[in-house]
Structure 1
């Protein structure tokens, strides 16, 4: 009896792993028309969620390099080095939280991409485990540039504003290819909490955050721009 149960569990896990691998691998060639985070918003919309959402997919070469650099500077400066989960950032966040500092997360761009594509908003250890597994699959199957491209196209920059192209047109009335350093830093500043933060008017906190992101962009500089290309 136990052998049969174990066999069924093993078979189920195998089916899940193969399905997950095919889902991730397909992203090499297919731009996702829908993703879990957007679907959840449409089924359980927040009070400020609009009836019509904004989204236009753009390839990475149609997005300003400044925007790509701003997102890496703001969200995950070790993005070129890690394999989906940044363990050093996790330990730093854990120590900070244990010492009574401000609660901090340690999600990488890859983890945020996995969360947006396949997972749900509620925090739990199960969700984090799935997030880490899908992040590893993304790193194993896709180049870093493709992960960035997907993230920049599915991230929510405000209620119902998905992707950097829609965000650029909404906030600055221009395509993502034309974003300046300052505009890119401003959009990147929204990403931790696009429902809490706003660009117009900018609060003192947001002004400081945009300035900090610009400083990080200057420090990262050409090495990251060459990596992006």
Structure 2
């Protein structure tokens, strides 16, 4: 061993450390921001859930349409069903989270407290499942899309990406599959039914709803009327 071999090792370790830091900055910080920025103008092509469903043999039915080609009553219905404060919060509804946690502590039926922004971040950028790591990433992407996209784009991506049945994604495919019309021709009852099945799109059916979905869609229709009268969807319509 030469006498000058010793000092070289700390220098090598420092270079390796700097390389890891650079990789973290590129892939952990710059990468997500760049991806979110691209998706502000480019439709997200496919999601982790869509890939998983393809491997499960469910097929793939999706047609991207702009927000102005989707019936406004659908946006009001999903706001009424999923996130009544969508236009007021900045990505997180902490009151809804607290209520969901309290409900889940005393009931076996799990209730979610995620906003439409959080659901969009999860659907577009992350894999299915529950873990603290994924929840942390969901919060990070939620902040990014709220800042870089804004409410209209969040709603547009949500309505074009959400699962609405086996292999059915987005409002256009769901409207055609269930009612034989385009998303721009959905009436209030049809929109309410689509919103009603969102918690369990593989279990419930919008075209031939059972008693529970019928009752839920009736409540959503009334709530969507309140959203319309009180301007609860003005940030996207």
> Which TM-score applies when normalising by structure 1?
0.90
- Greater Cα radius of gyration, structure 1 or 2: 2
Question: Contact 2:179/2:207 (CA < 8 Å) preserved in 1?
Answer: no
**Aligned alpha-carbon RMSD (Å):** 1.9
Distance in 1 of aligned mates of 2:107 and 2:40: 42
Give the 4+ runs in structure 1 shifted more than 6 A. Answer: none
1:69 matched residue in structure 2: 76
- Report the Cα distance in structure 2 between the residues aligned to 1:129 and 1:114, rounded to whole angstroms: 11
**CA pair 202-146 structure 1, distance change in 2 beyond 3 A:** same
How far apart, in 2, do the equivalents of 1:171 and 1:139 lie? 31
Spell out, residue by residue over 1:77-128, the C-alpha distance to the aligned partner (whole angstroms, 9 max, x if none). 1111222222111111112223447421111111111111121112111111
83 and 8 in structure 1: CA distance in 2 versus 1, 3 angstrom threshold: farther
Question: Is 2:185 aligned against 1:178?
Answer: yes
CA contact (8 A) 1:152 1:163 kept: yes
What residue is the counterpart of 2:25 in the other structure? 14
SS at match of 2:178: helix
**Matched length:** 223
Evaluate the alpha carbon distance shift between residue 86 and residue 12 of structure 1 in structure 2; reply closer, same or farther with a 3 A threshold: farther
Name 2:120's counterpart in structure 1: 113
What does 1:43-192 align with in structure 2 at a 5 Å threshold?
Answer: 43=55, 45=56, 49-50=58-59, 53-100=60-107, 102-192=109-199
Deviation at 1:165, TM superposition (A): 0.3
**Alignment of 1:224 onto 2:232:** yes
Aligned to 1:30: 42
Checking the alignment, whether the CA contact within 8 Å between 1:40 and 1:120 is kept in structure 2 is: no
CA contact (8 A) 2:87 2:233 kept: no
My pick for the range that moved more, 60-69 or 29-38, is 29-38
1:157 offset after TM fit, Å? Answer: 0.4
Q: Distance in 1 between matches of 2:107 and 2:234?
A: 39
Deviation for aligned residue 1:39: 1.7
Alpha-carbon contact 1:37-1:115 (below 8 Å) kept: no
CA–CA separation in structure 2 for the residues paired with 1:204 and 1:9: 56
TM-score, with length taken from structure 2: 0.87
